[in-house]
Structures are given as structure tokens and as C-alpha cells.
């Protein structure tokens, strides 16, 4: 639907997938966070100016979500000018936030960057966006946290309807480019209108094909659609939040794993999915303790930009992913490469029912590749973590994978206290062991 002027702003009604995210975020799924650890004190004014340039270039992050209670409808209302402000937390305030988080025993060995990421994943500015009392909410927020030892964490938090993983990757790279430039070099193309939703860019004549008709809406679900095995729930009554566990594999072992994938013509997501299913099936935390074969669900998220009409670039901000649901029967004793090939070869069924809700694992079809460069060094980037919340509708574990400086870096997201950190740490440690062992034996079938 084309945009229309409203009080000097532009308005576009959200598409079907975007509307699903508007509903999901209310419950805690779809808060996208990029947390950047830097050794250089960010100049708040320069950072704000860089973010304003990004807002000028990408109208969707210059928008607010408008809710019309009479029609139960959401729209993007795009401001003619950028408006984001940077919220700054001094060292004392940051220390108080971290102290409250460190009071939990399970957080004792967790880094400040990790805890700030989790803290931001659970800051939901949109909990009232579906109520008449608060009808407009920004889709983009920025904060800076000061840490001891001359370090800072810059955090960008976005609504998922405006930010899929491809958007988050491009956002980081464009921000690093802008903050590393001289002021006079910071020229970007200004755009006025939010682009069309994914449903409005489906190639002509293909809207009724299975891929498009059923795959776009990844958040609809029916609890009774499938009888799938999941991890054992630890606490179903307490309020939920999102937590993460990080899976790191050194460059040497990562190279062997990638070589094993390449030799078999499969993507890394197949190996990650297989490792997750094998680890879960052998885990003491499985929802069923018997040793019979069980059926599990795996959701693979696929970026559709290149197959839309017209095709979109990776620098086209918004949400343009579809979900593919596969189910796999695991009996125990499967080898990683055997199962990974099966996962890669099966013809997936895209579904609008029971995808994220009933799946054990969610992965991305394509892995992000990131190498350290002069831009990162210039701005003092030491580390970063990026993912989205999952404690509303979501899988047991969502994996955001990156190959960083030749090593595998996975942010594994899960709903807490539905699952405990101990439970997910054991699962992730099991996945790592399975992947590393398979890499070392990649010549075997």
C-alpha cells in the first residue's frame, strides 16, 4: 500500500508479517538488540548525528508505530525529519543495573556486555502499543552504558517489524562507516517513504504458491498442529524474559566444520540444526525421558530480498524473511553429517501454523561473515552481540550465527525461566562437542 501524507508525515499500514510482529512483540518476542563493546568513549553528539543520517537514509527506522484501537490496526507513521535521542547511563547507573543482574547466581560468570544485551532484550517499549492509552511508539532506540576500565557499550534496540537480521547486520556496518568518517564525508541518500511490505513485493502470479502463501506468516500457530518434542520446561508460572548463551568455536575447528559442510554441499545451518537435535535428544532436559524415537521441529529463517519483485539489496531495512518448518524423527545414535545431509536434502514445507511456537530450534539459512577491519579498530570496537528476544511466541532456542575472524560465534537465545541457563548451557556445550568432533572426522560419512 502506498504511503499518504498525514500532518506532514508519511503513513503506511503494516503488512501481514509486520502485523504479526506487532502482536508478538507485545508478548516479548521480536525485540531486536545490537550491543557493541568499545574502548573509545562515544561522543554522544556525533553518535546522534550518525544515527540521524541513518534515519534519513532508512525511513522505516524514522517511523513510529501507530495503533488504531477501533480497527485493531497498526501503521508506520514516518517523520519528515530524524528524531532519535541517545540515552546515556553513567558508570554508577550501569554498575547498579549490573549489580542487580549479578545478584542472580546463574549470572556470576557472565560478561557485562552479555548482561547488558539481556537487559535490553527485556526493555519492551511496545507493551502498551496495542492499547488506546499509548497509540504511537518509536521503532528505534539507542543507549550508551559506561563500564569500569574505560569501556562502553553502545546499544541499538529495534522493533522486529522494522529490523530482521539482515537489517541489523547492515545497520552495524553503516553505523561503523559513519562514525569512522569526518563530518564532511558523511553524505547519505535521504529517502522519504517506507518501502512496501514483503506481501506487496511477491512476484506476480506466485502469491498462491506454497512458499509465499504459507511461508510469510511465521508467527501464527496452533498448539495442536503437531506433536513435537521439546526441552523440559523448568518454570511455567513465573514471568518470562529472554536470556542468551554464547557458543564459540576456535578458527581451526570452525574451518574443519565448514570444510565438512562444503564437501557435502550443505550449509552451516544444517550442521547447527543436526547438532542441536542430537544434543537435545540425548539431554537429561528432554521433555520425555524415555529412549523412543521422537519428532522435533526446526524452523529455518530465509531472507527473501533477492527473490522479491523488485529485488531488494541487503541495505534495504525492514523485515523480509520467511520461515521454513521441517520436522525430523530422531531415534538416537545419529551421526552429525548423516543427519545434516538429511536436513539439507528434505523438501521443506513452509507453514503458517505452529512454526516458531512448537519448534525446538530456530536457525538462519545463511551465516553472517564478519572480519575485523580498520573501521572497527578506528572506533574501538572490541566485541559485539546481536539477536532478538523470544520469550513470547518462540522456540526453545534460536541461534544467531556469525563467522567472526574465522571462528564460529553463535548467540543462542531462549525463554527464561521456561528454560534455565544451566539447561541451555548443557545443550550448547553438547552441540559444540558434536560439531567439533564431526569437524575432526569430516572425512567420514
Residues with Cβ within 8 Å of 97's Cβ and at least 6 positions away in sequence, in order, are 89, 116, 119, 145
Query: What CA–CA distance (Å, rounded) separates 51 from 179?
Result: 9
CA distance 167 to 181: 21
**CA separation for the pair 393, 240 (Å, rounded):** 11
Q: Which residues contact 91 (CB under 8 A, 6 or more apart)?
A: 146, 147, 148
Q: Which residues of the chain have pLDDT under 50?
A: 1-6, 133, 214, 221-226, 347-355, 357
Give the pLDDT score at 293: 85
Domains and CATH numbers, the chain: 11-182+203-441 (3.30.559.30)
Cα 190 off chain centre by:
27
Kindly report the number of other CB atoms within 10 A of residue 255's CB atom: 16
Q: Which of 412, 420, 422, 354 is nearest to 386 (CA)?
A: 412
The rounded distance, in Å, linking the Cα atoms of 142 and 7 is 26
3-class DSSP assignment, residue 294 = strand
User: Residue 100: which residues within 8 A CB-CB, separation 6 or more?
Assistant: none
Report CA Rg, the chain: 21
State the Cα–Cα distance between residues 191 and 56, nearest whole angstrom.
6
pLDDT given for residue 365 in this prediction: 94
Closest to 82 in 3D by CA, of 59, 98, 116 = 59
Model pLDDT, residue 355: 44
Residue 154 and residue 176 in contact, taking contact as beta carbons nearer than 8 Å: no
- The CA-based dihedral angle spanning residues 419, 423, 424, 429, taken in that order and rounded to the nearest 10 degrees: -170
Residue keyed to cell 518462540? 394
| Degrees, nearest 5: CA angle 367-399-213 | 80
The DSSP code for 410 is: E
- pLDDT tens digits along 196-246: 999 899 888 776 555 555 455 555 543 333 457 788 888 989 999 999 999
Q: Tell the residue number behind the cell numbers 562514525, with chain if given.
A: 179
SS3 387: strand
DSSP assignment of 177-229 equals HHHTS-GGG-------SPPPPGGGGSPTT-TTSHHHHHHS--S---TTS----
Strand partners, 140: 158
**pLDDT for the residue numbered 229:** 78
What does the DSSP 8-state code read for residue 59?
A: G
* Torsion of the alpha carbons at 162, 168, 174 and 175, rounded to the nearest 10: 90
Query: Which pLDDT value is given to residue 222?
Result: 34
For 103, the grid coordinates are: 545478584
* Chain centroid offset of residue 169 CA: 10
288 and 32 Cβ atoms separated by less than 8 Å: no
Q: Backbone phi, then psi, for 402, in 5-degree steps?
A: -140, 140
CA dist., res. 116 & res. 383, Å (int):
13
Look up residue 140 and give its three cell numbers.
Answer: 528505534
Give Cβ neighbours of residue 71 (< 8 Å, ≥ 6 apart). Answer: none
CA 204/CA 184 separation, integer angstroms: 43
Please give the Cα distance from 188 to 62 (Å, whole number): 15
pTM over 0.85: yes
Whole-number Å distance between alpha carbons of 401 and 274: 15
Amino acid at each position: 500500500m502506498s504511503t499518504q501524507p498525514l500532518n506532514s508525515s508519511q503513513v503506511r499500514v503494516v503488512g501481514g508479517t509486520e502485523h504479526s510482529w506487532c502482536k508478538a512483540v507485545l508478548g516479548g518476542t521480536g525485540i531486536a538488540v545490537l550491543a557493541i563493546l568499545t574502548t573509545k568513549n562515544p561522543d554522544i553528539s556525533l553518535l546522534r548525528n550518525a544515527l540521524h543520517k541513518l534515519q534519513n537514509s532508512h525511513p522505516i527506522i524514522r517511523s513510529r508505530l501507530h495503533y488504531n484501537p477501533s480497527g485493531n490496526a497498526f501503521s508506520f507513521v514516518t517523520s519528515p525529519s530524524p528524531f532519535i535521542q541517545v540515552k546515556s547511563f553513567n558508570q554508577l547507573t550501569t554498575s547498579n543495573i549490573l549489580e542487580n543482574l549479578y545478584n542472580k547466581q546463574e549470572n556470576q560468570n557472565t560478561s557485562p556486555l552479555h548482561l547488558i544485551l539481556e537487559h535490553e532484550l527485556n526493555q519492551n517499549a511496545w507493551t502498551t502499543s496495542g492499547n488506546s492509552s499509548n497509540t504511537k511508539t518509536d521503532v528505534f532506540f539507542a543507549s550508551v552504558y559506561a563500564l569500569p576500565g574505560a569501556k562502553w557499550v553502545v546499544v541499538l534496540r529495534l522493533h522486529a517489524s522494522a529490523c530482521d537480521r539482515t537489517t541489523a547486520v547492515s545497520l552495524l556496518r553503516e553505523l561503523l562507516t559513519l562514525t569512522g568518517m569526518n563530518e564532511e564525508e558523511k553524505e547519505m541518500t535521504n529517502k522519504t517513504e517506507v518501502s512496501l511490505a514483503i506481501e506487496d513485493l511477491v512476484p506476480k502470479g506466485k502469491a498462491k504458491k506454497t512458499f509465499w502463501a504459507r511461508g510469510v506468516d511465521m508467527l501464527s500457530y496452533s498448539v495442536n498442529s503437531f506433536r513435537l518434542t521439546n526441552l523440559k520446561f523448568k518454570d511455567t508460572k513465573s514471568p518470562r524474559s529472554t536470556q542468551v548463551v554464547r557458543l564459540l568455536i576456535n578458527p581451526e575447528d570452525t574451518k574443519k566444520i565448514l570444510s565438512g559442510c562444503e564437501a557435502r554441499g550443505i550449509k552451516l545451518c544444517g550442521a547447527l540444526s543436526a547438532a542441536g537435535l542430537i544434543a537435545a535428544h540425548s539431554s537429561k532436559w528432554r521433555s520425555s525421558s524415555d529412549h523412543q524415537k521422537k519428532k522435533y521441529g526446526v524452523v529455518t529463517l530465509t531472507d527473501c530480498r533477492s527473490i522479491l519483485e523488485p529485488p531488494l539489496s541487503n541495505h534495504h531495512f525492514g523485515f523480509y524473511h520467511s520461515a521454513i518448518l521441517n520436522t525430523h524423527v530422531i531415534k538416537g545414535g545419529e551421526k552429525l553429517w548423516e543427519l545434516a545431509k538429511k536436513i539439507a536434502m528434505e523438501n521443506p514445507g513452509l507453514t503458517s501454523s505452529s512454526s516458531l511456537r512448537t519448534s525446538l530450534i530456530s536457525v538462519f539459512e545463511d551465516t553472517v561473515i564478519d572480519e575485523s577491519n580498520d573501521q572497527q579498530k578506528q572506533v574501538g570496537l572490541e566485541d559485539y552481540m546481536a539477536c532478538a528476544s523470544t520469550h513470547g511466541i518462540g522456540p526453545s532456542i534460536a541461534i544467531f550465527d556469525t563467522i567472526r575472524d574465522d571462528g564460529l560465534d553463535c548467540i543462542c537465545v531462549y525463554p527464561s525461566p521456561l528454560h534455565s541457563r544451566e539447561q541451555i548451557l548443557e545443550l550448547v556445550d553438547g552441540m559444540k562437542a558434536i560439531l567439533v568432533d564431526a569437524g575432526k572426522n569430516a572425512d567420514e560419512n
